Structure 1
Amino acid sequence: MRVEKSDKVRPKKFLGQHFLHDQSIAKKIVDGLQLAEGSNEVLEIGPGMGVLTKFLAEANDVDLKLIEIDRESVVYLKQHYPLLRERIIEGDFLKLDLTTVFGGHFSVIGNFPYNISSQIFFRVLDHRHQVDQVVCMLQKEVADRIAAKHGNKTYGILSVLLQAYYHIDMLFKVSPGVFTPPPKVMSAVIRLRRNNVQSLPCDEILFVQVVKQGFNNRRKTLRNALKNLNLATVVTSLPLLDKRAEQLSVDDFIFLTQKIEDSRGAIG
């Protein structure tokens, strides 16, 4: 029996689906990928009805895999992109074993669901030694936060952690009218490109702890925000502790982490 192709997928609110229908913007997003020679593996997150997939599949230099959690979208993609059937993973990116799917380096692209975009970036950070590049569309407010410099009110945890390992490029803004259904907010496309930092010159777990605790108490000076870390006197005397988290650059946070680490070593 012949199976008829489904013409569309119903956007599901609980999955945060807003399907891009502007082909020119889709191509512009795909064109944002800057693949290095010999590093052409790409994972598309949440392809939906394949608006980006179409252009990715046409690119000769892209070795494409897709992950989609929505069963209806998976069926649609397999019907409309039969050559990619074996490359479509039905599942949750946040639970995907990336080291099994990709033996080496790869890039990420997608129109990220707004309700989990931050979680996606924390997952990218966990696999920063594999993920060379991310090109994505997401809520403009989150994009602004990621790209923000210190001293800016939108500067936060993701700003520091991502900028420690990636160069951030704000590519362009996208209006709500090019989506179905249109979101209530502006969107933006950003690119993250891995920098040359293989590891920070400090305890990276402690670095994350310092950054998170500082911003979780962002209205307080760091002297008060970091009290639970039981800072040694040599650390509490640092002028940096008189500032709030948003006033510290990535290098400042690294320096502060080094000082905390050194003070603990001296005590030990």
Structure 2
Amino acid sequence: MKKNYGKKGPAKGRRTKYEETQGEVRAKKYLGQHFLRDEDVASKIADTLTYKGYDHVLEIGPGMGVLTKYLLKKEIDVQVIEIDTESVVYLQENYPVLEGKIHEKDFLKYDVSEIFGMDEFAIIGNFPYNISTQIVFKMLELRNYIPEFSGMFQKEVAQRICEKEGSKAYGILSVLVQAFYEAEYLFTVPPTVFDPPPKVDSGVLRLTRKADFSLPCDERLFFRVVKTAFQQRRKTLRNSLKIFDLPEDIKEDSIFGLRPEQLSTARFIELTQIIEPHAV
């Protein structure tokens, strides 16, 4: 499992204490790599997807393939995307069945339609802590093509994504993801199953796209309203949404007297519908 804590690499020719050899791939501090070494956990993560209603799965950051080997047992097309050249070489040498299916790319910058065209596909992986939320935001951009998504995050991030209104952990990710997907926190993974171990627990979640995932409001405005509201989450919506320059009579609606964490996804949609006729 890779956790990306920063872009700067170690000095050339030097090995840090984190660059421990496991098999043929070193865990690299500059990539923030933490290799999952528990086969039972890997198998359990592979089983989080249903593999129904689509023909392809994309694994992000397979490393040495501890999860990949269990995905390959499923009756589905498995493709992997990996930024670490050493891991790519390892996968090519040890998983010949993946020939032509290993993509040495940065998922956040890559156009996955080059792999799948217009076909739907699921995403799975042990995601780097540092870019996990960015992966989720890109998944949301691709939601028309992704009916299922599952994987491992820092525990508090996984919980935040699945959180409901009324909690301090409830925020932008919670609302935006749950507008389009059913979110389930599945299980917690301790640091001891990684080499080297991270300093915090990890959490595995599953997102299942809703049967009707279109919104009855302007979707771009919905994203803007949610993000603007939570930028000043301690304020009421009457104050945090001043940027929309709404008429005073509109702001008399009781919904504007609430703080963002008090609104469910459905109520954020309602709020967007109220603002929409007046939004610039």
Q: Do the two structures share a fold, i.e. TM-score over 0.5?
A: yes
Cα offsets for 1:4-59 (capped at 9, x unmatched):
xx93311222323211000000000001111214x120000000010101111122
Question: Aligned residue for 2:33?
Answer: 17
CA distance in 2, matches of 1:139, 1:202: 32
Q: Given that residues 179 and 213 in structure 2 are in contact (C-alpha distance below 8 angstroms), is that contact kept between their aligned partners in structure 1?
A: no
CA distance in 2, matches of 1:197, 1:249: 18
RMSD of aligned C-alpha atoms? 1.3
Question: Residue 84 in 1 paired to residue 98 in 2?
Answer: yes
CA distance in 2, matches of 1:263, 1:33: 42
Cα offsets for 1:121-172 (capped at 9, x unmatched):
0000000000111110110000010000000110000000000000011111
Q: Given that residues 112 and 137 in structure 1 are in contact (C-alpha distance below 8 angstroms), is that contact kept between their aligned partners in structure 2?
A: yes
**Of 129, 138, 152, which residue of structure 2 is paired with 1:137?**
152
CA distance in 1, matches of 2:172, 2:242: 18
One-letter identity of the residue aligned with 1:53: T
SS in 1 for 2:185: strand
**Of 232, 235, 246, which residue of structure 2 is paired with 1:231?**
246
Q: Give the superposition deviation at 1:264.
A: 4.5
CA distance in 2, matches of 1:58, 1:47: 15
Question: Residue 197 in 1 paired to residue 212 in 2?
Answer: yes
SS in 1 for 2:207: strand
Question: Residue 161 in 1 paired to residue 176 in 2?
Answer: yes
CA distance in 1, matches of 2:27, 2:130: 14
SS in 2 for 1:42: strand
Q: Given that residues 59 and 123 in structure 2 are in contact (C-alpha distance below 8 angstroms), is that contact kept between their aligned partners in structure 1?
A: yes
CA distance in 1, matches of 2:96, 2:250: 60
One-letter identity of the residue aligned with 2:242: K
Q: Give the superposition deviation at 1:85.
A: 2.3
CA distance in 2, matches of 1:177, 1:7: 18
CA distance in 2, matches of 1:70, 1:14: 11
Q: Given that residues 244 and 279 in structure 2 are in contact (C-alpha distance below 8 angstroms), is that contact kept between their aligned partners in structure 1?
A: no
SS in 1 for 2:147: strand
CA distance in 1, matches of 2:23, 2:201: 27
Q: Which runs of 4+ in 1 moved over 4 A?
A: none
One-letter identity of the residue aligned with 2:159: D
**Of 245, 260, 264, which residue of structure 1 is paired with 2:275?**
260
One-letter identity of the residue aligned with 1:52: L
CA distance in 1, matches of 2:279, 2:191: 50
Q: Given that residues 109 and 134 in structure 1 are in contact (C-alpha distance below 8 angstroms), is that contact kept between their aligned partners in structure 2?
A: yes
Question: Aligned residue for 2:44?
Answer: 28
SS in 2 for 1:131: coil
**Of 74, 79, 85, which residue of structure 1 is paired with 2:88?**
74
CA distance in 2, matches of 1:244, 1:12: 43
Q: TM-score, normalised by structure 2?
A: 0.89
Cα offsets for 1:206-262 (capped at 9, x unmatched):
100000011111111111111111122233111111111111000110001001112
Bigger share in helix: 1
Question: Aligned residue for 1:97?
Answer: 111
**Alignment: residue pair count:** 258
Q: Given that residues 234 and 263 in structure 1 are in contact (C-alpha distance below 8 angstroms), is that contact kept between their aligned partners in structure 2?
A: no
CA distance in 1, matches of 2:123, 2:107: 11
Question: Aligned residue for 1:3?
Answer: none
CA distance in 2, matches of 1:209, 1:197: 21
Q: Give the superposition deviation at 1:199.
A: 1.5
Question: Residue 120 in 1 paired to residue 106 in 2?
Answer: no
CA distance in 1, matches of 2:186, 2:87: 27
CA distance in 2, matches of 1:16, 1:240: 43
CA distance in 1, matches of 2:272, 2:85: 44
